[in-house]
Amino acid sequence: MHRFVSQPLNVPHHEHPYYRADLEFEGVERFGASFVGLVFLGNPEADETTAQTPAQGYAGRFTVFGHSVCFGDAGHCDVAGRVSPFDRNPEHPLTPVNITVQITDALKRVEETQVPVTVLAFSSNPDDAERQDILRFSRLTLVTYD
């Protein structure tokens, strides 16, 4: 299991009421075995034994359908940009993606003005059990909609 704990994110409360809140994981990489991410708010000690309940800050989950096999030669699975402005090839299939988890109810239970996000990432490949780089992404954003 790989545990990621974010820096605290600012939580809008009564001064900025919202009807929906999303966590956006930006630039999630997909090379590697498929994995599940469990998301907790305000529970940096969460681990595989933590109950997925509101009391534990559980906010939701997401799955990344990963590509574990590189079937080309060296460099085949490196995400390459466009060769030129005239390049009409589709995006590289492993181009990092953004994944959204709706956390409206969980965020409304948070009483603090800041909250860290914990993600427990579990690989589908048992050989990855000790890996600490299962979840790889560029930025985490909390978005609320009013």
Partner 1 sequence: MTVTVAATPPTVSATILHRKSVTKLEAGQLADLRRAFREVIALAPSDDRGYQYFAGWHGVPLGLCRHHEALFLPWHRQYLYYFELALQRQVPGVSLAWWDWTVDREIPPAFDEAEVEGEANPLLQAPIRVEHARPEWPTESSRAPGSFPQQPELPQPSAYQEAMEAANFNDFNSLITGVHDEVHMWVMGTMSDPSWAAYDPIFWAHHTMIDRAWALWQAAHPGANPPSNLLGTKLQPNGMTVSETLDVNQLGYDYAGTTDHVPGTNA
Which two tokens mark 6? 């974010």
Around 46, how many Cα atoms within 13 Å sit in the side-chain half-sphere? Answer: 29
Stretch of 8-16, 94-102, 110-118, 138-146 lying at the interface with partner 1 (CB under 8 A): 94-102
Judged by CB under 8 A, the residue of 71, 81, 127, 146 near partner 1 is 71
By CB under 8 A, residue 69 contacts partner 1: yes
Q: From 103, 131, 130, select the one nearest 117 (Cα to Cα).
A: 103
Question: What's the rounded Cα separation, in Å, for the pair 83 and 90?
Answer: 12
Stretch of 10-18, 39-47, 56-64, 103-111 lying at the interface with partner 1 (CB under 8 A): 56-64
By CB under 8 A, residue 56 contacts partner 1: no
By CB under 8 A, residue 9 contacts partner 1: no
* Backbone φ, ψ for residue 108 (5° rounding): -70, -20
By CB under 8 A, residue 140 contacts partner 1: no
Pairing of strands 114-115, 35-41: unpaired
By CB under 8 A, residue 141 contacts partner 1: no
Interface with partner 1: number of residues (CB under 8 A): 23
Question: What's the rounded Cα separation, in Å, for the pair 45 and 38?
Answer: 13
Binding site for partner 1 (CB under 8 A): 28, 30, 33-34, 36, 38, 62-69, 71, 90, 93, 97-100, 122, 124
